[in-house]
Homo-oligomer: A and B are copies of this chain.
Amino acid sequence: MLVVFIGAGNLATHLALEMSRKGLRVGQVYSRTEESAADLARQLDCAWTIDPQAIRSDGDLYVFAVKDAALPAVISQLKPNNGLWVHTAGSMPMDIFKGYTSRYGVFYPLQTFSKRRSVDFSQIPVFLEAAREEDLNVLSEVAQQLSDHVEILSSEKRKRLHLAAVFANNFTNHMYVLAGKILEKEHLPIDVLRPLIDETAAKIHDMPPLQAQTGPAVRYDENVINKQLDMLTDPQMKALYQLISQNIHKEATNE
């Protein structure tokens, strides 16, 4: 199977390298920026281009791993061919390919990728969708070579899964940012929170998050909450502290 990568960012890099390790042949990398295209192609030992017209047309699988906003334009620039076109975006519907080809789908690995960090791909859940039954089988076969957790999911459900991921990743990371800001003022490094951050994440392997919830907000302990609000000088952080605390209490008492 010959794979063509459209995009050379973090996700494209991790996915292309993993496919290559699993014996799939990545034949070409396209990216708008020469540096990323050349860099990924070098790692894959394959050809690259920055010209959408020069994308080869004999690929079996075209993986569009670009930013959501760039996706429609890149799709419209690819010349029609007989390959299977998939994108990797949580929030974009599969139908974005409609009118450009009849063989299309989605290959969504639910993970956050950084260039510097390696991840165990076998543990990453991959969610698939395809316009045609036979293409879903092709995607399943590819996905199962990479991951132990392959599922079929509609565009509608996938965008809600992506929303959940925004809370679990983007918003969680923002809590780390705010914790780091508080420590910075005291000249304490974020390192002191690492064991706590790790254990907070690890607990979710053992119990539902609602059961793992602790802290003054659970019983809405106004004495502690007011003292902590007094320490926050930034009005937006104060507002956030208040809203999250109220919501923790609400979830705890709804049980």
Query: A-side interface residues toward B, CB under 8 Å?
Result: 68-69, 91, 110-112, 114, 116-117, 119, 123-125, 149, 151, 157, 159-161, 163-180, 182-183, 185-186, 188, 190, 192-210, 212-217, 221, 223-224, 227-228, 231-232, 236-237, 239-240, 243-244, 246-248, 250-251
Which B residues lie within 8 Å of A114 (CB)? 203, 206-207, 212
Are B172 and A200 touching (Cβ within 8 A)?
Answer: yes
Which B residues lie within 8 Å of A208 (CB)? 180, 190
Which B residues lie within 8 Å of A244 (CB)? 171, 174, 240
- Which single member of B172, B199, B202, B243 contacts A175 (CB below 8 Å)? B172
Min CB distance A105 to B, Å, is 19
Oligomeric state, in copies? 2
Known A173-B212, A185-B160: A112·B228 in contact at CB below 8 Å: no
Are B175 and A193 touching (Cβ within 8 A)?
Answer: no
Are A175 and B179 touching (Cβ within 8 A)?
Answer: no
- Which single member of B179, B203, B204, B251 contacts A174 (CB below 8 Å)? B251
Which B residues lie within 8 Å of A200 (CB)? 112, 168-169, 172-173, 201
Are A168 and B179 touching (Cβ within 8 A)?
Answer: yes
- Closest chain B residue, CB of each to CB of A221: B69
Which B residues lie within 8 Å of A231 (CB)? 159-160, 163
Are B124 and A195 touching (Cβ within 8 A)?
Answer: yes
Are A204 and B215 touching (Cβ within 8 A)?
Answer: no
Are A213 and B174 touching (Cβ within 8 A)?
Answer: yes
CA–CA, A215 and B248, complex, Å: 23
